[in-house]
Amino acid sequence: MSAQELPQRAKIVIIGGGVGGASVAYHLAQLGERDVLLLDRSDLTSGSTFHSAGLVGQLRADPTLTKMNMHSVDLYRKLEMTETPASWRECGSIKIASTKERMAEIRRQIGWSKTFGLDLREIGVKEIADLFPLINTEGIIGGCYMATDGQVDPSQLTHALASGARRGGVKIFTNTRVLQIKAKNNQINSILTDKGEIECEIVVNCGGMFAAEIGRMLGVRIPIIPMSHQYLITENFLPDNSPMLPSLRDPDNLIYFRQEVKGLLMGGYERNSKAWQTSHDSFDDIPADFNAKLLNPDWDRFENIAINAANRVPIMGEIGVKNFINGPEGFTPDNEFCLGETSVGGFYVAAGFCAHGIAGAGGIGKVVAEWIVAGEPTMDLWHMDIKRFASAYESPKFTLERVTENYEAYYDIHYPGEERESARGENMSPIYNWHKANHAVFGEKAAWERVNYYHDQATSNLDESNRPNGWVGKNWHPAVALEHFAARNTAGLFDESSFAKIEVSGLNSAQFLNSICANNVVRGIGRTIYTQALNSRGGIESDYTVTQVADDKFFIVTGTAFLNHDMGWLEKMCRQLGYNEIKIRDLSRDLACFGIWGPNARKILSKLTDSDLSNEAFTFMSSKILKIAGIEVRATRITYVGELGWELYISRADALQVWSELISAGEEFGLRPCGYRAIESLRLEKGYRAWAGEINSETNPYEAGLGFAVSLKKENFVGREALLLANENLTRKLTALTLENIKDVPMGNEPILINNRVIGRVKSAGQGYTINKAIAYAYLPVENTKIGTKVDIEMFGIIKSATVQQEPLYDPEAIKTKS
């Protein structure tokens, strides 16, 4: 359509005509959007799409992604029936295991695939050989087979989607390069192309590996690095009448195969990966003329992959190579897509598909189009949301470190509690050095170094008796139980300085917050309120505490990883509801936060302050400025572990002194420094919810057991109507389950069954050291939530019995917290 004149106005402009842009356009058209333009600087598919290997697998480690890939398959099947078919071939796929651990992973996947109705089944060595006769079965233990996986021609798929989009009214302009994107009052206003300017409301950056460059046009960081990814295609050798081979993945050998005409396509994820670095100091500047091009073959780096392939499929060592592809593809720091609205209103991104963009494209197009039309995600997309990336990823070098580690670990088995080694040490608590000197073992969250637990190597006789069975036990540590019991029996001191802390101030800030929070958060200066902010469907977008600190000033505290997400939601709501005078400030790095919790917390704190800390003078869920050891701190009487105590907010400069004073004062009361692993166990026992754990944008407060934090006395707040409706038809409830053996700890996503019928999947799980049981939470149909109901949890193919319990599992009368 390049001959046609470029319009001067459009509601939505999509930048990029790869499979991503075409799918977003297709789905926008399906949703009835008629005023949509798609622009590409070259031809359709001239980025990564044209050189893709085209394998389409559905099962992923993330439930949302699995649902999205299932939509892709449905769509590709349907497109086959149109006048522009996508060349979809439903050849099935096999994954093989050459190690016991891989076989365990396969059994676990088979378990949770049941919760999606996916027909993934275990197969033995003989069936693997029957399905893929070219294979050398030596060393194979077993595998799994999914009949509905397949392969597609990426270019034909893109053209099929583009044709569908055109039929729905989308206008496509190729050879049209976007040069600038402009915003007014932080809201998209127009774009400038080499063919003219277009006024628009929404821009969707579907630039694949070019997405970072496109983001820079507006000063928005998109943390994507182009990585070189290679595969080869053999000469044709399969007999004409041979049945089509299924795709084959051999992750232990880092390789994948699929049939290509009458030959094989084989690729893999090398241990010595390589970013496509375009200059000595740039990781994402792509030459302006890099259209429909490839990188030079890098045989040396491919050698190990080729050797592994010839071992597994011996004919690979004999047959000639017809084509060798080295193509760049955009990777993100965690191998998940980068989707959603950025910090600029109306500027969306759908990029960074990490070499599974063909499998994902159908689903990606659907969820992004829905997000644009609804103005909010229509399912839980947190793992793919651009707002999950901390500001540390503004550095391309930092991004590259993590991208490299994750690329090379693409096929690795990942165990619970695993920590990344690269891109560490970016954000530190002001008392990091104290932790280090006191034997802290650190973990990383959103580029913050945080204490997981403390362990002095010289300590002996640690109690190993609670080490969980199987994978959960691998990164488990006995010190966590000791810390758990310190908080329950004496006192624990936790450094939570990484918490995201946001100040909302200005005229009408009270009115604004009450219009977006489900709870009444305006109950006077010094009151702290636990609340959720809901989307229009009544789903939980944010989960935090709000403290009123002045007439027109509020202090919000939320999880470490949710700063950009929660702040972004506040800013978006401000724009949407027209509260233009309100200021939203990030205080996360200005203030340290320490939690002191346990029966002795009051005694310890009283030693350091003249303020009255009695139950009457300092009530639960209130907040005051105190002097602790002569230093001004904000003390909030709240708990995330279910014990008496306070969170103390202190300026960074004074943090070490306050911490040291607390440690000294606590010595006689058995105070112990504790880490985040203990918090997890303590909060699970107490039933405190975690966003992105048990609650998310797809769950509403009533089904999550958070009805107590909804104030229906307020006549209006975002999501109220939908919430009321949902409450009338509540079909499922977040339910606490316990397993008798504390060592039988689920990992998450396991199917929950009654009489062999799947009724749900595990949301979160852990150990409850005080109740001496393993704990799991799951959304179950209301009729299955009667206390005492027995259910089965399938873990690694083995059934374990669990019991529905009354919540909370610990201190149901809240005597400890309110004492």
Residues of this chain that interact with ligand FAD (CB under 6 A) are 15-21, 39-42, 46-49, 51-55, 154, 177-178, 206-210, 214, 229, 231, 291, 325, 327, 329, 351, 353, 355-359
Q: How far is the CB of 300 from ligand FAD (least distance, A)?
A: 17
Nearest to 400 by CA among 458, 352, 332, 446: 332
Q: How far is the CB of 146 from ligand FAD (least distance, A)?
A: 15
Give the tokens for residue 7.
Answer: 């319009």
Q: Which C-beta is closer to ligand FAD: that of 338 or that of 491?
A: 338
Q: How far is the CB of 40 from ligand FAD (least distance, A)?
A: 5
Q: Which C-beta is closer to ligand FAD: that of 228 or that of 560?
A: 228
Q: Which C-beta is closer to ligand FAD: that of 356 or that of 565?
A: 356
Nearest to 134 by CA among 269, 296, 270, 259: 259
Q: How far is the CB of 308 from ligand FAD (least distance, A)?
A: 17
Question: How many CA atoms lie less than 13 Å away from 444 in the CB half-sphere?
Answer: 16
Q: How buried is residue 130: exposed, middle or buried, by Cβ count under 10 Å (0-12/13-18/19+)?
A: exposed
Q: How far is the CB of 90 from ligand FAD (least distance, A)?
A: 15
Q: Which C-beta is closer to ligand FAD: that of 268 or that of 492?
A: 268
Question: Distances in Å between the alpha carbon of 36 and those of 15, 188, 204, 225, 369?
Answer: 11, 15, 10, 28, 11
Q: How far is the CB of 364 from ligand FAD (least distance, A)?
A: 8
Give the tokens for residue 502.
Answer: 């946001």
Burial 748-785 (b: 16+ CB within 10 A, else e): bbbbbbeeeebbbbbbbbbbbbbeebbbbbbbbeeebb
DSSP 9: B
Helix 19-30 with 357-374: angle, nearest 10 deg: 40
H-state helical runs in 611-651: none
CA torsion 257-259-260-265 (nearest 10°) is: 10
Q: How far is the CB of 205 from ligand FAD (least distance, A)?
A: 9
Q: Which C-beta is closer to ligand FAD: that of 347 or that of 676?
A: 347
The strand pair at 631-637 and 623-628 is best described as: antiparallel
Q: Which C-beta is closer to ligand FAD: that of 16 or that of 719?
A: 16
Q: How far is the CB of 113 from ligand FAD (least distance, A)?
A: 18
The strand pair at 187-193 and 178-184 is best described as: antiparallel
CA-only gyration radius of the chain, Å: 27
Q: How far is the CB of 163 from ligand FAD (least distance, A)?
A: 16
What kind and span of H or E run contains 433? Answer: helix 432-437
How far apart, in whole angstroms, are the C-alpha atoms of residue 499 and residue 647? Answer: 11
Sequence letter at residue 776: A
Q: Which C-beta is closer to ligand FAD: that of 231 or that of 579?
A: 231
Contact 188, 202 (CB under 8 A): yes
Q: Which C-beta is closer to ligand FAD: that of 149 or that of 444?
A: 149
**Helix or strand or coil: residue 192?**
strand
How far apart, in whole angstroms, are the C-alpha atoms of residue 559 and residue 359? Answer: 32
Q: Which C-beta is closer to ligand FAD: that of 229 or that of 683?
A: 229
Give the tokens for residue 448.
Answer: 């913050």
Give the tokens for residue 746.
Answer: 């689920």
Q: Which C-beta is closer to ligand FAD: that of 18 or that of 142?
A: 18
Q: How far is the CB of 123 from ligand FAD (least distance, A)?
A: 22
Q: Which C-beta is closer to ligand FAD: that of 208 or that of 748?
A: 208
Q: How far is the CB of 43 from ligand FAD (least distance, A)?
A: 8
